């Protein structure tokens, strides 16, 4: 413990070790953080982890769309979800938006015949599929924050299911907000160009705010550690949302202007484009977590919730250890097995 205190005090001052929020970090500290984040991204194999999240995310996407349609149909005409989502997906690459629209149409046709017990059963099946995708993201958060999964299997999946439900609720709220924005911007026949522009800008803003909110929630509740204060989560959340919007826009231009996925992959072109977009989104999300982890790692102040506690007693690796340079610490990073919950133990009857 004494060694940790000396480590924290040794280079405090111009390196942000006494900063009580990320916004108090001096330029020298941000330089250290940026370099460590870049190196740690490679050491943690973020590209490979993002590919795993992409796989589970793709499998979870159709069930999640089904949940959205089924729940949306309880409060409004389910068929209107297709027209409402078109405004929301204007920001997405054309092939991705088209595929999502097709899946929504199929879900609407199914939901119109789903009532009573069948509705409940369909929701449970869809929720299970979405939870697997959320579980993959939680594992990625553990890797980014250098944490080993300490929660029980039941606790792990309870968090994953909660995240799935929250994501669905946010999606429905975003649909309603975007529908309202679209109506006020383009509904009247005499809508001015400024109103149309405002509607599109509002849709982009809604997507960005939703992305930042989802990222912040994942960073706070996903890793198996003591929760970080919101202020220490904000930089990575804003970076993830901004880079996601930029990557999505650039990928949309690339798909429409530079290459033709259908010509290269045939009937699989749309799926390849969708997988690429999910991969870029997952990479931005995990990179934001890596950034937050290194920001917490820069300060000696307690970045976790609750009353301040000494180094080594905060229940989070990034908060319990203070960086001494712009090089990542030589430590044993958690493996994929460490970042996932232990399986249920079977009794040995031998």
The domains of the chain are located at 38-301
Conformation bin of residue 308: beta by default, left when phi > 0, alpha when psi is -120 to 50: beta
Give the CA distances from residue 113 to residues 2, 78, 118, 168, 239, in Å, rounded to whole numbers and listed in that order: 67, 11, 9, 21, 42
What pLDDT was estimated at residue 206?
A: 75
Give the mean pLDDT of 3-26.
69
Specify the pTM.
Answer: 0.81
Rounded Cα–Cα distance for residues 23 and 32 (Å): 15
Give the mean pLDDT of 173-184.
60
Beta carbons of 275 and 52 less than 8 angstroms apart: no
pLDDT tens figures, 258-284:
777 777 777 788 888 889 989 999 999
Can you tell me whether residue 204 is helix, strand or coil?
helix
Beta carbons of 249 and 296 less than 8 angstroms apart: no
Per-residue b/e over 21-56, b at no fewer than 16 CB within 10 Å?
ebeebeeebeebbeebbeebbeebebeebbebbbeb
Residue 335's pLDDT band (cuts 50, 70, 90): low
Residue 194: half-sphere exposure toward Cβ, Cα within 13 Å? 0
Can you tell me whether residue 304 is helix, strand or coil?
strand
What pLDDT was estimated at residue 227?
A: 93
């Amino acid at each position: 413990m004494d060694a940790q205190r000396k480590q924290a005090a040794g280079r405090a001052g111009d390196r942000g070790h006494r900063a009580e929020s990320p916004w108090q970090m001096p330029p020298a500290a941000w330089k250290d953080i940026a370099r460590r984040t870049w190196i740690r991204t490679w050491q943690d194999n973020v590209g490979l982890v993002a590919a795993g999240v992409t796989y589970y995310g793709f499998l979870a996407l159709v069930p999640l769309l089904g949940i959205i349609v089924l729940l949306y149909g309880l409060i409004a005409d389910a068929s209107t979800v297709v027209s409402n989502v078109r405004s929301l997906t204007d920001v997405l690459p054309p092939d991705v938006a088209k595929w999502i629209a097709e899946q929504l149409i199929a879900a609407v046709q199914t939901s119109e015949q789903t009532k009573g017990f069948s509705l409940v059963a369909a929701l449970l099946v869809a929720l299970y599929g979405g939870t697997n995708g959320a579980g993959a993201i939680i594992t990625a958060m553990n890797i980014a924050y250098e944490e080993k999964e300490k929660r029980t299997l039941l606790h792990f999946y309870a968090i994953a299911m909660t995240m799935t439900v929250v994501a669905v609720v946010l999606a429905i709220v975003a649909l309603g907000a975007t529908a309202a924005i679209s109506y006020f911007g383009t509904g009247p026949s005499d809508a001015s160009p400024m109103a149309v522009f405002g509607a599109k800008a509002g849709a982009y803003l809604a997507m960005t705010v939703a992305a930042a909110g989802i990222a912040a929630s994942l960073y706070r509740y996903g890793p198996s550690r003591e929760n970080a204060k919101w202020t220490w989560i904000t930089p990575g959340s804003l970076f993830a949302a901004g880079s996601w919007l930029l990557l999505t826009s650039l990928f949309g231009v690339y798909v429409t202007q530079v290459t033709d996925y259908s010509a290269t992959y045939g009937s699989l072109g749309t799926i390849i484009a969708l997988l690429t977009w999910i991969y870029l989104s997952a990479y931005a999300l995990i990179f934001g977590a890596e950034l937050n982890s290194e920001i917490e790692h820069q300060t000696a102040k307690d970045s976790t919730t609750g009353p301040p506690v000494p180094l080594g007693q905060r229940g989070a690796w990034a908060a319990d250890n203070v960086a001494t340079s712009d090089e990542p610490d030589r430590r044993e990073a958690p493996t994929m097995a460490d970042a996932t919950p232990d399986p249920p133990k079977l009794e040995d009857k031998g």
